[in-house]
Amino acid sequence: MLTVKDELVQSPDLDRHTVKECVMQAQRKIDLLVGQGEEIPIGEKSPPAMPPFAILDAMIEPYFTTTNDHFPIWTKKRFTQMAAALRQSAPSERDLASIVCCNNLILMAMSADSLGSHQRESMMSRQTRKTSSIDFDLIAGFLTNAKRAVSIIDQLVSPHLINVQALLSLWHSFQGQLSDDDIKERQNLSYCLYVLDKAVCWTAGSSPSIPVSEVHFDPRLVPSENGIPSCLVAKAEIARIEETVYLEIYAVHVQARDEDQVREFAATILSKLQVCLTESGVDLDKIQKSFEGSASNLQLAIRYLSVQLLLIWPHKHHPDPMFQQAPEVARLCLKLLLRLWHSPPDQGSQAVFSL
């Protein structure tokens, strides 16, 4: 972090007013992060073990083919470089973050493959199906990750996350000084953190830690031309809508609305959801009538229906017909969720559930 701070100060464009403001903002964020000090791990008596490189090498290609697009926290090029550096590093110089990243990639890739193998064996009876030793290893890995997550849950839902997000969002102010890979990596991770924050928000019942004001959404962004998965852009847009729904309906201090105001707000949100779905190329009517469709499209349709439920459920006694559709929307949401679960393994649905 301090190295990044020094590099910002040495920026050749520091004389420009806008760049200087961004640099000063970044310095403040870095000072806040560094000032937190190192947290003492809870229940962690030993550092994470080095990844088995033979398995890691075999998992990199399938992971980036089927899984990474759903939540692109890495680029294949950068991850390969990180793994190579870790492999060549001396024991005293091994980077713990790289070790965790490599182990997690193996875990996520093998989890998706394990789910796929269970679906391929779905015709087998429960009596003849056996749980393999690798399944137990995956379960152990999940439990280890869950234990680690529970011990630091306060960090995940704390405002500290905003500082990380704000630093990542500064990528657009330094495009002339960052490589294309740097920009892509930071933009993807920025969107991923924003989407993840909304999931934590609903799960923990807390207000969003990363407000939309801390994220740079490029209105000219064309996913296919920028190396950014279209499904990630759509998820980020839906997350923006989720944030509005949470703050206007579920937050502690919410202004009371009369029936007309509730109807107007709901109509606006539903319109934004529909536009987001349409721009993503997802046809909900077609998905309902046909059993074809990618795992990403099914996932976006499910997220669309989930936000619709969050919007109308608190007002289920409102006289407008749109608020009486909650049971129907819930049934459709569960139907698509089951369809996603039972979709053929080659469609990538296991990658969605493994995340």
Q: Which residue has the higher pLDDT, 298 or 342?
A: 298
For residue 151, is it within any domain? yes
User: Are both 176 and 278 inside the same structural domain?
Assistant: no
User: How much is the pLDDT for 71?
Assistant: 80
The domain containing residue 95 runs over which residues?
2-35+47-119+131-186
- pLDDT cut 90: percent of the chain above it: 24
User: How much is the pLDDT for 42?
Assistant: 47
DSSP state of 74: S
The string of pLDDT tens digits covering residues 238-258 is 999 999 999 999 888 888 899
User: Are both 51 and 176 inside the same structural domain?
Assistant: yes
User: Are both 165 and 17 inside the same structural domain?
Assistant: yes
For residue 145, is it within any domain? yes
Total tally of structural domains belonging to the chain: 2
The string of pLDDT tens digits covering residues 334-355 is 999 888 877 765 545 555 554 4
The string of pLDDT tens digits covering residues 46-92 is 667 888 899 899 999 988 887 887 788 888 988 999 999 999 999 88
For residue 224, is it within any domain? no
The domain boundary residue, chosen from 186, 211, 231 = 186
Least trusted range by pLDDT, from 123-137, 197-211, 271-285:
123-137
Cβ-Cβ contacts under 8 Å for 48 (sequence gap 6 or more): 96, 99, 100, 103
User: Are both 9 and 138 inside the same structural domain?
Assistant: yes
**Can you state the angle between helices 295-312 and 230-245, rounded to 10 degrees?**
10
CA atoms within 13 A on the CB side of 325: 16
User: Are both 110 and 9 inside the same structural domain?
Assistant: yes
CA-to-CA dists, residue 40 to 36, 37, 121, 152, 221, angstroms: 12, 10, 44, 10, 40
The string of pLDDT tens digits covering residues 192-238 is 888 888 887 777 777 787 888 777 776 555 555 555 677 888 888 99
User: Are both 54 and 144 inside the same structural domain?
Assistant: yes
User: Are both 13 and 154 inside the same structural domain?
Assistant: yes
User: Are both 51 and 170 inside the same structural domain?
Assistant: yes
